[in-house]
Structure 1
Amino acid sequence: MSQDPTRSLPMAGATNFRDLGGYVGQHGRAVKWRRIFRSDHLAGLTATDQALLAELGVTRAIDFRGKAEGAAHAYAIPGVAYHPLVIEPTVVQRALELQATGRTLTAQDAVGLMQQTYRGFVHENAPRFAELFRLLLASDAPTVFHCTAGKDRTGFAAALILLALGVPRDTVMQDYLLTNNLYRRPAGMGSHAPEEVLAVLWRVQEEFLDAALHMVDQDYGGVQTYLVEVLGVDAAAQRQLAGLYLQAAA
């Protein structure tokens, strides 16, 4: 294991940039390193960061941010094709709606809001995740996908990719929770809310991803059916995905 590449990559302008490689998927085959990366947004990347992207061979960036988020922190990276797959953020809006009723938000309120958001990914945002798979199947060119913090929209996308490659759920959850070790909240963000609420909104918890995966299980009978019937990733596409992104059998 000591010879494996590093999972987290040292970017000055992004704190949550990491590789999905190395996790063991179907038939004991590991996910290839340096093919699929997940990150927080890329608008703050320095020239050195962009040189590292080029060194990694990254030629595609998939951006899940909402329209206002993308406009506020737009970016263009030479040699990297930009693919916006817009998923509008809903947590802040729902939090503001609750506050408008005169209610003081609690950490438990925030957990509920986050779970609601993740359940929304499963149905309302399925077309964007389907397009993510279409892009991954079109080419195995090194790709980074991201949202603003690289934790929720990106976290669910990473979970779907890893599960489609046969990575066990407990390993998928471990990858998801790595955000809490890496991501650094920007200074001054969300000062309108109590710190206990911000501590929930800017981190990840098992309950968040579980809310989405439980909905997939409940509404579709499992990830496999969801991949096939909702995201259009049928058995042939899954074999192709494995061929592109899993190492050859030993």
Structure 2
Amino acid sequence: MPHPPLPLQPPEPSRAFPLAGATNFRDLGGYVGHGGRAVKWRRLFRSDHLAGLTPEDQAVLAELGVARAVDFRGKAESAAYAYALPGVAYHPLHIEPTVVQRALELQRTGRQLTAQDAVGLMQDTYRGFVRDNAPRFAGLFRLLLASDAPTVFHCTAGKDRTGFAAALILLTLGVPRDVVMHDYLLTNTLYQRPPGMGSHAPEEVLRVLWRVQEEFLDAALHMVDNDFGGLQAYLVDVLGFDAAAQKELAGRYLQAA
């Protein structure tokens, strides 16, 4: 007797969405967290900025049910490329960009910026997320706890401020660090640098500034481990996110066992 065919596994939903006006828009669903439970699809999205979305792009977001947009861009960035999406509540959590200013300061001293300088600047930026911008990331966590309405969070390129936020969320949900790093590095496959951006710097420097490297996120996570006693202590002592809140977040964003 032939064996009956095995039931086909349903295909996983799309992770990345090739929008015309945003190249780095993607879903955090499907990664396996605490207790073998996967992150729910179509709840948490990360992206580059949304000011360039076409009407067709906006229709895709509406179809996905996106109800909230969290904008990590600095005040001047968000003012220069403002947007309003029908039916989407807008939540600014400003994190001022520091890399460009610090690069300009170095150049004003007469120094030609190198790729290694740029890596150091990016690592310092990520340490600043952990230390100086914790209130903004705490604000994101409070929003996610208040409701599990589908949410997109973004900055300008969707790679650094957004990348650290995505890593924090996934790690809190129990996703292993190597998987979190894999998601973080997807930016290098997806994100397309706007033409003419930062054209005054050498191309080797731009390649560092407009992409992501393991060393960037590692700088932040090492600081969480070494300066704050690890993720649990950071969540509780710095973000004000205790065990009960973490359990509630898992209940909202992980599939039932």
Shorter-chain TM range is: over 0.9
1:47 to 18, 32, 55: 55
- Which of 234, 245, 248 aligns to 1:237? It is 245
1:10 Cα offset (Å): 2.2
Which position in structure 1 is the counterpart of 2:146?
138
Aligned residues between the structures? 249
Task: After superposition, give the CA deviation of every residue in 1:30-85 in whole Å (9 maximum; x if it has no partner).
Answer: 00000000000000000000011110000000000001100110000000000000
In structure 1, C-alpha distance between the alignment counterparts of 2:229 and 2:143, rounded to whole Å: 26
Structure 2 matches for 1:1-250, cutoff 5 A?
3-249=11-257
Q: Distance in 1 between matches of 2:50 and 2:10?
A: 29
- Point out where structure 1 has 5 or more consecutive residues left out of the alignment: none
3-state SS of 1:102 partner: coil
Q: Percent identity?
A: 83
TM-superposed deviation, 1:221: 1.4
Can you list the C-alpha shifts for 1:111-143, whole angstroms capped at 9, x where unaligned?
000000000000110000000000000000000
Q: Which amino acid aligns with 2:110?
A: G
Q: What is the CA-CA distance between 1:153 and the residue it aligns to?
A: 0.1
Shift of 1:2: 6.1
Cα-Cα RMSD = 0.7
Residue aligned with 1:145, SS: strand
Q: Which of the pair has more CA radius of gyration?
A: 2
- Paired with 2:252 and 2:101, the residues of 1 have a C-alpha distance of 39
Give SS of 2:45's match: strand
How many Å apart are 1:239 and its aligned residue? 0.6
